[in-house]
Amino acid sequence: MNKKIIMALIFTALTASACSGSDNSISILDTVDSAFKNKLPIPPLLEPVEEKNISRYTLEVQQGTYEFIKGEKVYTYGYNGPLLGPTIKVKRGEKVSIEVRNSLREYTTVHWHGMLVPGDMDGGPHQVISPGKKWTASFTVNQPAATAWYHPHGLGTTARQVYMGLAGLFIVEDENSEKLNIPKEYGVNDIPLIVQDKRLTTEGVPLYLTGMRDIMTGMLGNTILVNGVITPHFTVTGNKYRLRILNGSNARVYNFSFNDNNFFYVIATDGGFLEKPVKRNNIILSPGERIEIIADFSKYSDGENVKLVSGNIDIMEFRVNGKEKETAIIPERLTTIERYDPSASKRSRLFQLEGMGHMVAINGKRMNINRIDEYMNYQDTETWTITSSTAMHGRGMMGGGMMRMMGPDVLHNFHAHGVHFLILSRNGIPPEDHEKGWKDTVLLNENEEVKVITRFLYRGIFMYHCHILEHEDNGMMGQFKVK
Ligand code: C2O
Ligand code: CU
Ligand code: CU
């Protein structure tokens, strides 16, 4: 125990001394347990109990012990297990009822990020589950096939609880996704990748908020985990694989590519399929965002390895072994997106993301659970302009100096509950092809302006916030009510 406390102090010092540079890539653990030693685990599918047309799922939020490093047990949180959670897979039209039981010694909530459900089923800060208590979310799935996810959303406790291990995938299928001739066998050629970073000591202890920098930028780790395992490997055949990537990190923004720059096809964004696959060799993903890509390993021969990386950070390794005959293709068309007509917009609103660290706000305000910030009308179409700046408007003191010190690591993104939106423009220019699909979270670079169009299909109270979780917990969140 003493040793662990000493470690914590050493790491605090390391973090503090790293404060002046912009090092998104500290990699203290390289020598300890990386080298793609571990096999990628696949989160199990959660089996429902079918009862009178309703699929009943059960999640238990629990504390457990987990070994990030073999032989080193540490306390973690998970759903139905010590870390992360099972994948919930539903089909459009399905009536689901998810019972969540809180076995933690602190309160939590479970939010279905990317699922379109009424406000009282959303699992935001209003649907608190006290220790020992249960909460049931019931809704009918009515949205196109997509990769969504679930995670806690308590006021001021989200970041720490996610960091402790609470996150799981929520996959929606529909007739279209089942009909498309793409890889779709879960865990076989349709592979979920929950990418997160943690600051682990050499004994595998996840440290949290050990320096001022962690508050400013949000918590950045020194170790990459995929599905809870440090830089793992996954064995593939020389065929096509669909990778469903979730950035489940508290604050880190990734720029994913293969180390040999091999291209891949982006087929879906947060809210579902793009109209056509988009050929790329990199993709930027900020916290909360998802992307589905198809990677084709056919150009590699047996025994070759290719790495998924983010700049100079290793994420995981694919090891090519054998080849199977396959039917999966890269379809020319994936779906039809019914775009809202901007002229149907009833109202435009502005969301200004600003500040950093403790001094963060949206439109100059910090989250107040007793205040509704925006009122919307059910079924209305609206256009939103989102801007981002790390300076605080009208507060000269938080200016350039601090920003230069933190460098490009301080970013904001914007996530809204209860809606999906389409990006109309980024800095006045139409979005790139891979940003033309449904989104619920969008990254903004410093001083960028993004315009989106959305429609309110569900009633209730919903959150909008920066998905850098430390920013969210520091109040970079607001509420809207759809009447
Ligand atoms: Cu994934 Cu309001 O959050
Ligand atoms: Cu959400
Ligand atoms: Cu932010």
Q: Find out whether the beta carbon of 415 lies less than 6 Å from any atom of ligand 1.
A: yes
Both tokens of residue 134? Answer: 């249960």
Give me the amino acid identity at 404.
R
Ligand nearest to the CA of 472: 3
Tokens 């009282």 belong to 120
The CA distance from 425 to 446, in Å, is: 16
The CA distance from 413 to 467, in Å, is: 6
Is residue 441 within 8 A of residue 286, CB to CB? The reply is yes
How much is the CA Rg of the chain, to the nearest whole Å?
21
Q: Find out whether the beta carbon of 151 lies less than 6 Å from any atom of ligand 1.
A: yes
CA 260, 263, 265, 271 torsion: positive or negative?
A: positive
Per-residue confidence (pLDDT) for residue 59, from 0 to 100 = 98
Per-residue confidence (pLDDT) for residue 7, from 0 to 100 = 37
Using CA atoms of 452, 274, 257, 188 in order, give the dihedral in degrees to the nearest 10: 130
Per-residue confidence (pLDDT) for residue 75, from 0 to 100 = 97
CA 296, 299, 303, 308 torsion: positive or negative?
A: negative
pTM attached to this predicted model: 0.92
For residue 349, give Cα distances in angstroms to 58, 175, 382, 383, 480.
39, 35, 8, 7, 12
The CA distance from 143 to 223, in Å, is: 35
The CA distance from 357 to 397, in Å, is: 14
Q: Find out whether the beta carbon of 471 lies less than 6 Å from any atom of ligand 1.
A: no
The CA distance from 247 to 158, in Å, is: 15
Q: Find out whether the beta carbon of 199 lies less than 6 Å from any atom of ligand 1.
A: no
Rounded to the nearest angstrom, the distance between the alpha carbon of 102 and the centre of ligand 3 is 28
Q: Find out whether the beta carbon of 154 lies less than 6 Å from any atom of ligand 1.
A: no
CB atoms under 10 Å from CB of 282, counted, come to 15
Collect the ranges in the chain with pLDDT lower than 70: 1-34, 393-409
The CA distance from 147 to 343, in Å, is: 30
Residue 463 is inside which H or E element, if any?
Answer: strand 460-465
For residue 11, the 8-state DSSP code is: H
Per-residue confidence (pLDDT) for residue 27, from 0 to 100 = 45
End-to-end CA distance of the chain: 53
The CA distance from 319 to 330, in Å, is: 22
The CA distance from 416 to 465, in Å, is: 7
Per residue in 210-228, pLDDT (tens digit) is 988 888 889 999 999 999 9
Per-residue confidence (pLDDT) for residue 33, from 0 to 100 = 52
Per residue in 294-331, pLDDT (tens digit) is 999 999 999 999 999 999 999 999 999 999 999 899 99
Is residue 189 within 8 A of residue 183, CB to CB? The reply is yes
Rounded to the nearest angstrom, the distance between the alpha carbon of 333 and the centre of ligand 2 is 28
Per-residue confidence (pLDDT) for residue 217, from 0 to 100 = 87
Is residue 164 within 8 A of residue 76, CB to CB? The reply is yes
Per-residue confidence (pLDDT) for residue 406, from 0 to 100 = 53
Ligand nearest to the CA of 247: 1
